[in-house]
Amino acid sequence: MAEVHVIGQIVGATGFSEDSLFCKWGIHTGGAWKLLSGVREGQTQVDTPQLGSMAYWSHPIDLHFATKGLQGWPRLHLQVWSQDSFGRCQLSGYGFSHVPSSPGIHSLHCVTWRPLGGWREQLARAFVGGGPQLLHSDVVYTGADRYRLHTAAGGTVHLELAVILRNFSRYGVEC
Amino acid sequence: MATANPTVFLVMVNGQVESAQFPEFDDLYCKYCFVYGQDWAPTSGLEEGISQITSKSADVQHNLVWNFPIDITFKSTNPFGWPQIVISVYGPDVFGNDVVRGYGAVHVPFTPGRHKRTIPMFVPESTSKLQKLTSWFMGRRPEYTDPKLIAQGEGREVTRVRSQGFVTLLLNVVTKDMKKLGYDTSTLDMQTSSVIDMSEGILK
């Protein structure tokens, strides 16, 4: 069986209009993949940057997959939320990125988007906070039913991931 | 001695904790330690260290330089639990107490070669303003009971932190027998030296 190690960090985020940010992340794989070690999802700490505008999380990711096929290559999906001084959380962006398929160290910059409501919801979000969220978060990493959404851009999440492959050349797979 | 069928691979890391950028603080020292999974074991070198106390240079750049050496070799059967280096920076506050100025962690680089890593340093923050005031007075700031917690992902969900500085590390990595065990860490057959700089957020 071929094995894939995904090791790295969710470094931080830039370009969001809010300050105190945290990120919920998860990995989605197809049916041929099995997670041998590591946690498949998590949530980072809340960071308020003092220098510059980039929020830094340095959240470690360490996953070990075994796979029987190439379909369903792992996808990393993210939700960035902001927390205000009262402790209320507001959605700032959804994003996803495929885990790179070639071995080595990769710098990923994952763009994010957030759903826009009508003009009433946008006005309410500007004054009170809140705003529309997705009911089923799998829309973030699949294409089905996206045509119903009207979204605006959020900031960018920066990740540094290393991919280590094992036994892929034995099966004739070129990466 | 090269064995026909190796069961472990080795990762050798050497380098230094080069310098730090903390615009608001001075007279800092740092500690480093390594956190790794169950399949890993250090075979030689020091797992922990404490540096000297450094002050900002008088010139325009205000550098805090440690130039503190790191040298360690690990053996392992599995890349899961790849070692991370955890850096903790401490300095005096207004009253002279030693308080924590930042924690940061990064994985030891995965590919052989020369790597430069600039890591952000963050400090846990109290949620209530009253607690912030009393901790400033008493000199007892919020800190982690075990710095190895920085290297873990679980249990971070409810913590609030403030990122307030950067530390630059220069690391050289050599691996042995990873290819023989079937692991591909790089698409290049030729090992060229790679210098990767992660300082995107600093000068914005």
What digits encode the pLDDT tens for the residues B123-170?
988 878 888 888 888 878 888 888 788 888 888 887 889 999 999 999
Size of interface A-B (CB pairs under 8 A): 148
ipTM: 0.83
So what CATH class is A2-171? Answer: mainly beta
pLDDT of residue B11 exceeding 50 = yes
Q: B45 vs B49, B55, B73, B74, B101, CA distance in Å?
A: 11, 28, 6, 9, 27
- Residue A85 in this model has a pLDDT that exceeds 70: yes
Ranges of each domain in chain A: 2-171
Residues of A in Cβ contact (< 8 Å) with B196: 105, 107
Q: Which amino acid is at A49?
A: P
Element at B156 (helix H, strand E): none
pTM for the model stands at 0.85
Class of domain B9-203: mainly beta
State the Cα angle at B21 between B160 and B50, rounded to 5°.
85
DSSP B28: B
B155: DSSP letter: T
CB interface of A with B, residues 9-68, below 8 Å: 9, 11-12, 14, 20, 22, 36-39, 42-56, 58-62, 64
Alpha-carbon span B168 to B16, nearest angstrom: 9
Cβ-in-10-Å burial (0-12, 13-18, 19+) of A135 comes to exposed
Judge whether residue B193 has pLDDT over 50.
Answer: no
Residues in A touching B188 (Cβ below 8 Å): 104
Q: Which residues pair with A98 in a beta bridge?
A: A75
* Phi, psi dihedral angles at A43 (to 5 degrees): -140, 140
**How many angstroms away from the CA of A121 is the closest CA of chain B?**
28
Bridge partner list, A128 = none
Closest CA to A10 of A161, A159, A163: A159
Q: Is the CB of B79 less than 8 angstroms away from the CB of A164?
A: yes
| Chain B residues inside the 8 Å CB shell of A87 | 127
Encoded tokens for A125:
């979000």
CA A28 from chain centre, in angstroms, equals 11
Using a pLDDT cut of 90, give the percent of chain A over it.
61
8 Å CB contact of B107 and A9: yes
